[in-house]
């Protein structure tokens, strides 16, 4: 079984985001970029399935700018076999990305597609579900456990208040939540080896996708900031402030 994994290049999760002075967007100039944390978990899960003999090949794919190839190489160093880079603007919308993935799914026929549940930049949480709809495949979103059992994928999903397990008939789409696994770090020899692994370049046109704009970004603002508040000297003062001033207890 082939597994297709999505990888997105995003701002490193430890970097503090700043809004541009003209409010046109956030400022990503000279900011450290990295693989989206949920995509790292997706890559790890696919590599583990290959190590367990369940998967035969792990293909990683990214739809984005030239620099997205760095994250694809990173995924190859973590154990993926080959990569597909689809050139696009960095702010390409989820439905357009889903259409590009759907075209690759059609061509590669993976038994499983594993994607991060959301990217930590646009926070849309849409692409996997959209891909499932477009490819008419069942979906298991926000997975904290994935078991392949014959022609079924048993996906334990993080839902409000607990966990829900669903059975999906393969081929299927799975999106990762935090508890699915703990991603490994790439080792130096694997990073060197990854440079020789195949990385194909495609355009959206090659995949028959004409990107459409479904929304327009009008403005990006910094959220209202909190003032630092006050320091209290004792537990008694804290309790009285919470009771009488903030009225929250």
Partner 1 sequence: MTTLLIAEHNSSTLSSATLCALTAAQAIGNDIHVLVVGKNVESVADEAASLSGVAKVLCANADVYEYALAEPMGDLIVYLAANYSHIIAPSNSESKDFMPRVAALLDVGQMSDICAVLSADQFKRPIYAGNAIATVTALDAKKVITVRASSFDKNAQQNDQKCPVETIDFVAESVLSSWQSDDITESERPDLSSASRIVSGGRGVGSGENFALVEALADKLGAAVGASRAAVDAGFVSNDLQVGQTGKIVAPDLYMAFGISGAIQHLAGMKDSKVIVAVNKDEDAPIFQVADYGLVGDLFTIIPEMVGKL
Residues 90-149 that bind partner 1 (CB under 8 A): 93-95, 98, 120-134, 137-142
Residues 59-88 within binding reach of partner 1 (CB under 8 A): none
Q: In whole angstroms, how close is the CB of 92 to partner 1 at the nearest point?
A: 12
The CA distance from 9 to 73, in Å, is 12
From the list 82, 179, 184, 197, which residue makes contact with partner 1 (rule: CB under 8 A)? 179
Residue closer to partner 1, measured from CB, 69 or 122: 122
For partner 1, the binding residue among 158, 174, 202, 209 (CB under 8 A) is 158
Rounded least distance, CB 89 to partner 1, Å: 15
Pairwise CA distance, residues 50 & 62, whole Å: 20
How many C-beta atoms lie closer than 10 Å to residue 31's C-beta? 13
- Report the half-sphere exposure of 9 (CA within 13 A, side-chain side): 26
- How far are the Cα atoms of 10, 63, 249 from residue 81, in angstroms, in the given order? 22, 18, 56
Nearer to partner 1, 127 or 194 (CB): 127
Residues 16-35 that bind partner 1 (CB under 8 A): 16-17, 19, 26
The distance of closest approach from Cβ of residue 197 to partner 1 in the complex, given in angstroms and rounded to an integer, is 28
> Residue 68 or 118: which CB sits closer to partner 1?
118
- Using the rule CB under 8 A, which residue among 92, 146, 172, 194 binds partner 1? 172
Structure tokens at 32: 């450290």
User: Which one-letter DSSP state was computed for residue 225?
Assistant: P
The structure tokens 């009285």 sit at 240
The size of the interface with partner 1 (CB under 8 A), counted in residues, is: 81
Closest approach of partner 1 to the CB of residue 124, in Å? 5
Note whether 1 binds partner 1 by CB under 8 A. Answer: no
Residues 189-248 binding partner 1 (CB under 8 A) are: 213-223, 226, 228-236, 238-239, 241-242, 246, 248
CA pair distance 132, 96, nearest whole angstrom: 14
CA–CA gap between residue 32 and residue 197 (Å, rounded): 25
Tell me if residue 186 falls in helix, strand or coil: coil
Residue 81 beta carbon to partner 1: minimum distance, rounded to whole angstroms:
27
Q: Residue with structure tokens 């995003």?
A: 10
User: In this chain, which of 53, 150, 161, 189 binds partner 1, going by CB under 8 A?
Assistant: 161
Candidates 157, 176, 202, 209: give the one binding partner 1 (CB under 8 A). Answer: 157
Under rule CB under 8 A, residue 169 binds partner 1: yes
CB of 113 to partner 1, least distance (A): 14
What is the distance between the alpha carbons of residues 104 and 107, in angstroms, rounded to a whole number?
Answer: 5
DSSP reduced 3-state for 71: helix
Say how many C-beta atoms besides its own lie within 10 A of residue 37's C-beta: 18
């Amino acid at each position: 079984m082939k597994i297709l994994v999505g990888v997105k290049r995003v701002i490193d999760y430890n970097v503090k985001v700043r809004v541009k002075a003209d409010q046109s967007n956030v400022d990503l100039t000279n900011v450290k970029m990295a693989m989206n944390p949920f995509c790292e978990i997706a890559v790890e899960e696919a590599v583990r399935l290959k190590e367990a003999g369940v998967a035969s090949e792990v293909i990683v794919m990214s739809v984005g700018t030239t620099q997205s190839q760095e994250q694809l190489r990173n995924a190859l160093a973590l154990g993926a076999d080959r990569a597909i880079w689809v050139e696009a603007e960095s702010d390409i919308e989820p439905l357009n990305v889903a259409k590009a993935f759907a075209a690759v799914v059609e061509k590669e026929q993976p038994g499983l597609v594993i994607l991060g549940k959301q990217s930590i930049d646009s926070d849309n949480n849409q692409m996997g579900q959209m891909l499932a709809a477009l490819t008419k495949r069942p979906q298991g979103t926000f997975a904290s456990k994935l078991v392949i059992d014959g022609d079924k994928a048993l996906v334990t999903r993080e839902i409000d208040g607990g966990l829900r397990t669903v059975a999906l008939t393969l081929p299927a789409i799975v999106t990762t939540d935090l508890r699915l696994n703990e991603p490994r770090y790439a080792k130096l020899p694997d990073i060197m080896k990854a440079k020789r692994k195949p990385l194909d370049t495609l355009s959206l046109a090659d995949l028959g996708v004409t990107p459409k704009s479904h929304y327009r970004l009008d403005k990006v603002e910094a959220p209202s900031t909190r003032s630092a508040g006050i320091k209290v000297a004792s537990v008694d003062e804290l309790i009285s402030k919470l009771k009488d001033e903030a009225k929250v207890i």
